[in-house]
Structure 1
Amino acid sequence: MSDKKSIKKVVLAYSGGLDTSIILKWLQVTYGCEVVTFTADLGQGEELEPARRKAELLGIQQIYIEDLREEFVRDYVFPMFRANAVYEGIYLLGTSIARPLIAKRQIEIAHETGADAVCHGATGKGNDQVRFELSYYALDPNITVVAPWREWDFKSRTALIDFAEKNQILVTKDKRGDAPFSVDANLLHTSSEGKLLEDPAVEAPDYVYQRTVSPEDAPNTPEIIEVGFEKGDAVSINGERLSPATLLTTLNEYGRKHGIGRLDLVENRYVGMKSRGVYETPGGTILLQAHRGIESITLDRGAAHLKDELMPKYAELIYNGFWFSPEREMLQAAIDKSQEFVTGAVRLKLYKGSAHVVGRESPFSLYNQELVTFEEGAVAYDQHDAAGFIKLNALRLRLTGARRNKGTL
């Protein structure tokens, strides 16, 4: 537990919801310190001004509400997508990639306001506490971290509600009972976990999905879109240049319409347990397919295969909270180098939950139609050379085969 006497001012990651409002008051009561609230707009789709009003009602003087959508996509989502990062084969890391940006801005605000501590609302069972705190300490090794869920004595939802009522914190009717599941959202994805979703054998009800129509209800006619890339980052849709956040927002709308990006996953948390999550990443799912499509014609085989070997490690670093680690930055440098010629356009067919690449072109394409055609082409490829190539590659196999058969070459 943090030293109550030493904390004079704390920067709280504040959503304006019931839990962080309780945390805000708890900090004032328990630590007797000044609280600075920070509310980040990462594209979660909620009105944020109510958070300002709630903070003001609780006596907060320094209130930060910031639109970080462009920075989020440009400096966090896009670098991650250059790596084609997926955790455990399928998870697009929507929650994981948002935490380092929130943490970075909290530390910056702490320095701006003279705060000596930061506070998050993550529980003691999940990954987010790790992601926040590893980022805090990487950016300010001497910062004090307050983690209320690991410190306070509240044992139940009822106890939290009682504390809220005693301290004149508004508790709406829909917050008095247990929520059927918890939701985290940003411009990249929505995740739903807990309560009615805890049994992995039971299918999630359709109302859990908030960002996509059911694939069965999606249009019966496919839609073709074109995504343009420059040096590995998407820059346009159907020929129209868009800012990073606007581009992802537009892809989200295409994905919503066609029921793309749903995922029901049992994942391995960094803290050791398995958890079941229901995710929606509509625009990100389209973007991943498009990026792999443009890489397929612009990346050399060795570079492409090495990227695929490095990717699971890179994804794991993000999932586990090591965005600001030296090894992630080293991997990012290698990944970014690979994207030097990843420029061009990819056409995708969107249809009932799927996004398929149907065309790709680039001024830096390594695809040579004369080399691969079945017709004889006037290019520097002699099919007779393949015999020697195969024989040299077979030499070690012939040697081990001869040993196995107690013979000689």
Structure 2
Amino acid sequence: MTLFDVAYDDFKREDTTNTIAITLYTDDKQPITPNASHTWKAKVSKEDKYVGEYPVTISGNTIKLSSSNLTRLPNGGYGLELWETYNGSTTIYPSAGVMEFRVHRNANDTLGTVDPTTDINGIIDDLHKAGQNIKVVATNTLPAGSKALVTQSITNGENQLTFNIPQGDKGDKGDVGPAPTLKIGTVTKLNPDQTPTANLSGGNGIYTLNMGIPQGVQGETNPTAAQALDIANSVNSKVTAIQNNGGGRNIGYNTSNDWKKIADNDQWNLTTATFFNEAKAGETYTVNADIQSPTKDLTWQVWDGSAAGTRKSYIVDQKIVAGSKHNCFTFTWPEGKTQYMVVQLMNDQSDSSHAGYQFKSVMLEKGTIAHDWQPNPEEIQSQLDKLKDAVKKLGGGQSSPTGSSSNA
């Protein structure tokens, strides 16, 4: 049997400052100290009708019910029970009967405005409809598979809600996305003092990288380096021209694209020791050149020059009529001749009346198709040697990383 003592059990309706103070005892009058870790609620009835449940607070041996939670109750007498719940068990105080308190009418009361049989859930519904004092105090995530739960309490005049929501099950693994593609967009040259920039844009596996790169500071000009660059540019231009010439390769030495004067008894020899052993029987060769001979005829001669200073029978002995501007002829190297070919432009006149006689762009090549003049590739090699010398003066020409010297 539990006993109880109730203090401040009389107050007027809508009084929010009164507190019903309840002390519980054992049947031998020993105070019962409420366990604050348990769940305590006050349940109120009026005569034979249930009204609702209300929150309480615990202070030492005293359980308190604030009149601020009872403002909706009309005047009259009420019964009160305390419900203690812990580990699924519930204890109701007192063991028999109810604890009584009374709400008195205030000056503004009009009977019938509040239904005394409305339970606390109806009161909460009214609060929700009115949109008054509703507050979500927490949203908690529960483990997957837990049961969703919403708890509600009225505290300090607020209708406080706490949502406990289980997290969803782990979803299925998504499909593998496309392999990313990265392409270089714009590359902007920045001033030397600017900071490099990089901007990545795009999506769905396709991205573009735009960059800004500062240019280097202008260095001092080195005369030897400038000379090397000029030679390199010249050689590069000649190689490019050969590639664009349709395949013709000049096998003649000492040719030039500049005009060369023809003096009395002058002759032009197109071969050097490099090609002494190049001519082959049955092979066809073509010679073409630009020639100016205002009044006198000139002669092209091709012969086997194996015996120095001795002219054997000419393979070609072709006259060039005075005034010709461009001349071209084709011949075949015969059997029984050595590989030493001599090509000459002969002036057999002994007088000195050859002002204005000159030639340029002599092209000796294999085959029957004449191409525009280009220098002999071996002669280009000599220019490359000059380039290497210039580079060595700049500190080049060192051993390669593998330890072998470059012979390019």
Structure having the larger proportion of residues in helix: 1
Instruction: Using structure 1 for the length normalisation, give the TM-score.
Output: 0.19
Larger-gyration structure (1/2): 2
Instruction: Using structure 2 for the length normalisation, give the TM-score.
Output: 0.19
Structure having the larger proportion of residues in strand: 2
